[in-house]
Structure 1
Amino acid sequence: VVIDSVSGPAEVLPGEGFTVLPEHLEIHENCRPIMQGHILTGPVAVRGAKPGQVLEVKILDIELRQDWGYNVIRPLAGTLPYDFETPRMLTIPLDREKNIGRLPWGLDLPLAPFFGVMGLAPPPNWGRITSIMPRAHAGNIDNKELVAGTTLYLPIFNEGALFSCGDGHGAQGDGEVCITAIETALRGTFQLTVRDDLDFVYPRAETPTHFITMGMDPDLDQCAVMALRDMIVLLGEKGGLSREDAYTLCSLAGDLRITQTVNGCKGVHMMMAKNLVERAA
């Protein structure tokens, strides 16, 4: 499935010299948000998907759709909410051929586009929720590792799974510390597959070289605990390691990384090289 996204409220749209997608203008002219959150595309219903299964989301390709992105600093937001009293909004030119973003001080920043939001409809008993806070259904995970060629695994809570994505990022550091990345419009090509052979209740991912487990919670320490515990489980499943051996391997070779610190529910992910797990097996 091919999914197009746009990103940003009306006040971030650039002036002359940049291309604004017509659907972006149409959304702001005709839609009023029910609550604070992102512009998302979806949901996509997956035939045969049922609660208790897992949806495999292969990210086959990601393309930039426009020649600009934006970045915002806002008082009372981000990782340093009291350090910056004046709002700032930057329009960042994007060169799709060179795959760079030109920053105001002259730096050409390499781009690595990914969708900040990818997720399924949450458990029905949660009711309507904002897209801002990531949880067990994933959503606004803001994980910079999830570029083209990687795979996300999501527990299914509803008939049809109901996959949505958006919040396109041209580039982002671990943490997304000022509350925004290079926010931009993307086109994603995904392969969605229902997996009956997987049994877990929290998002996981993998790159060509690493397994990834995740933790999301308002407490960053608890995020680390969640990601670590799930990696211990994964190492038992994939490599046949005891809990003690898995815990040791996590300490010796696992990398705990701060995914983001700005979404209410913060995020930590643990990465483990696949070749180490294969050797253990």
Structure 2
Amino acid sequence: MYTSRRTFLRKTTRNGLAIFATSGLTTTPFTPTSDEVNQPETLSTQAAAIKPDHVVRSLPENMVWGYYGADVPPVAKVKDGDIVEIQTVNPSGVSRTNPEEFYTKNNLPLDQHAQEVIAILKNVKPEPSGIRGHMLTGPIYIEGAQPSDSLEIRILDLTFPAPFGVNSVWPGGGGIPDEVKTRETFVYRYDMKRKTASLKEGIEIPLKPFMGVMALSPPADMGHQSSIPPNFYGGNLDIKHLTKGSTLYLPVSVPGGLFTTGDGHGAQGNGEVSGVAIETAINLTVKFIVHKGKTLKVPRAETPTHFIAVGLDKDLNKAMKNALSEACAFIKDELGFTFNEALSIASTAVDFEVSQVVDQTLGVHAMIPKAIFTKKKFAYWA
């Protein structure tokens, strides 16, 4: 049986995963502005072939330090269906008072990208009330997106503008905070030919870049929210499967949605147990698609091979239950099984993975394999 994405979209429920209608992937001719001509060269896992309609550069005026809010002015306005390259930075390990020291101490070039990081740290101010979080690029206003809609974010590409990333351990941080006695920062250098990262000889971590933070603005009545804990509007989900070719779906709470991103990861194990992954600068290329009147309650995701249900809570046990509830609801409501059948399928075929245990609100995601549903065909853009 062929199940169209349009049919699934109409059947979206409170707990189900929507499978959204897709159109052919097209690009519009792109003419760079004077500000975009002198962009830094990027190191990519493959040659970039996508021409964006817009480029949002990692400049101080395009950054927000650590929070989302409906009153944060957008740095760009784009149309429904536009392809946008969003440049992000990684200030991990870099001091605000002497940012140059990090690069010289670690024998890293003070190139154009490093100069952008230094300029951002010297000019972007933290949130006045004391909220802290990640250095983020945005927000971006998507024309046509309104409350009660949902936004589909197709991840077309992720490239590295700098050949390294940073991981740290520190007392009081991570999944075993009492066992860490000293702070230490590790610089992972990239071998782009081998597509690996290494902190010392004898260890190679496969590079699998993704964005830790992709968020829309919370509703206006929530005020400013830190980017550290994830929530129903997305944010610091830290789901390592949101790589190139995946899709994230988020509920729209304010006009224009106000998409913000940052916290690039070169690689991460499920759990992110030291407190951070390989924190890295990433240039993210996405396509935004607005789905009118398709309200979501929680983030949802999809890859070519899996549907992903998300569970969030400050209690990891409750996050697990929420992920299970979301997975069962999807299998039941969207694929036509009874609840008991859905729970049986979840128990025998669905992998439940801990996204992260270090972001105040903890995450579990359910990996629902498409291949087990042999009577159905699922169209997908990637």
Into which bin does the TM-score normalised by the smaller protein fall? over 0.9
Take 1:127 and 1:111, find their aligned partners in 2: how far apart are those partners? 36
- So what's the TM-score if we normalise by structure 1? 0.95
Partners of 1:64 and 1:96 within 8 A in 2:
no
Unpaired segments of 5 or more residues in structure 1? none
Take 1:61 and 1:23, find their aligned partners in 2: how far apart are those partners? 21
Partners of 1:205 and 1:212 within 8 A in 2:
yes
Could you say what the CA RMSD is over the residues aligned between the two structures, in angstroms? Answer: 1.6
Partners of 1:54 and 1:154 within 8 A in 2:
yes
Higher strand share: 1
Residue matched to 1:200:
296
Residue matched to 1:23:
116
Q: Match for 1:19: what amino acid?
A: P
Take 1:23 and 1:200, find their aligned partners in 2: how far apart are those partners? 36
Partners of 1:235 and 1:277 within 8 A in 2:
no
Q: CA deviation at 1:235?
A: 1.2
Take 1:279 and 1:268, find their aligned partners in 2: how far apart are those partners? 28
Over residues 160-181 of structure 1, what are the superposed CA-to-partner deviations in whole Å (9 max), with x where a residue is unaligned?
A: 0111111010010000000011
Residue from 120, 124, 146 that aligns with 2:220? 124
Residue from 129, 153, 174 that aligns with 2:270? 174
Take 1:220 and 1:130, find their aligned partners in 2: how far apart are those partners? 20
Take 2:149 and 2:86, find their aligned partners in 1: how far apart are those partners? 23
- Is 1:56 the counterpart of 2:152? The answer is yes
Residue from 152, 171, 176 that aligns with 1:80? 176
Kindly report which structure 2 residues correspond to 1:74-153, keeping only aligned pairs within 5 A, or say none. 74-153=170-249
Q: Match for 1:7: what amino acid?
A: N
Take 2:210 and 2:374, find their aligned partners in 1: how far apart are those partners? 28
Residue matched to 2:90:
7
Over residues 28-47 of structure 1, what are the superposed CA-to-partner deviations in whole Å (9 max), with x where a residue is unaligned?
A: 11122123100111111111
Partners of 2:148 and 2:294 within 8 A in 1:
no
Residue matched to 2:76:
none
Residue from 343, 365, 373 that aligns with 1:269? 365
- The 1:199/1:232 distance shift into structure 2, 3 A limit, reads farther
Partners of 1:5 and 1:187 within 8 A in 2:
yes
Over residues 201-220 of structure 1, what are the superposed CA-to-partner deviations in whole Å (9 max), with x where a residue is unaligned?
A: 10010110000011111100
Runs of 4+ in 1 over 3 A off after TM superposition: 277-281
Q: Identify which range, 90-99 or 51-60, moves more after superposition.
A: 90-99
- The 1:73/1:162 distance shift into structure 2, 3 A limit, reads same
Q: Identify which range, 193-202 or 121-130, moves more after superposition.
A: 193-202
Unpaired segments of 5 or more residues in structure 2? 1-83, 378-382
Residue matched to 2:136:
40
Partners of 2:156 and 2:285 within 8 A in 1:
yes
Over residues 223-248 of structure 1, what are the superposed CA-to-partner deviations in whole Å (9 max), with x where a residue is unaligned?
A: 11111111112112331112121111
Q: Match for 1:129: what amino acid?
A: Q
Q: Identify which range, 4-13 or 29-38, moves more after superposition.
A: 4-13
Over residues 111-164 of structure 1, what are the superposed CA-to-partner deviations in whole Å (9 max), with x where a residue is unaligned?
A: 000000011101222111110000101100111000000000101111101111
Q: Identify which range, 167-176 or 198-207, moves more after superposition.
A: 198-207
Taking only the aligned residue pairs, the percentage that are identical comes to 37
Residue from 319, 326, 351 that aligns with 1:255? 351
Partners of 2:212 and 2:265 within 8 A in 1:
yes
Residue from 312, 318, 322 that aligns with 1:226? 322
Q: CA deviation at 1:17?
A: 3.3
Take 1:128 and 1:199, find their aligned partners in 2: how far apart are those partners? 22
Take 1:73 and 1:43, find their aligned partners in 2: how far apart are those partners? 30
Take 1:63 and 1:238, find their aligned partners in 2: how far apart are those partners? 34
Partners of 1:120 and 1:162 within 8 A in 2:
yes
Q: CA deviation at 1:98?
A: 2.4
Give aligned pairs, total: 281
Over residues 183-204 of structure 1, what are the superposed CA-to-partner deviations in whole Å (9 max), with x where a residue is unaligned?
A: 1100111001011364421001
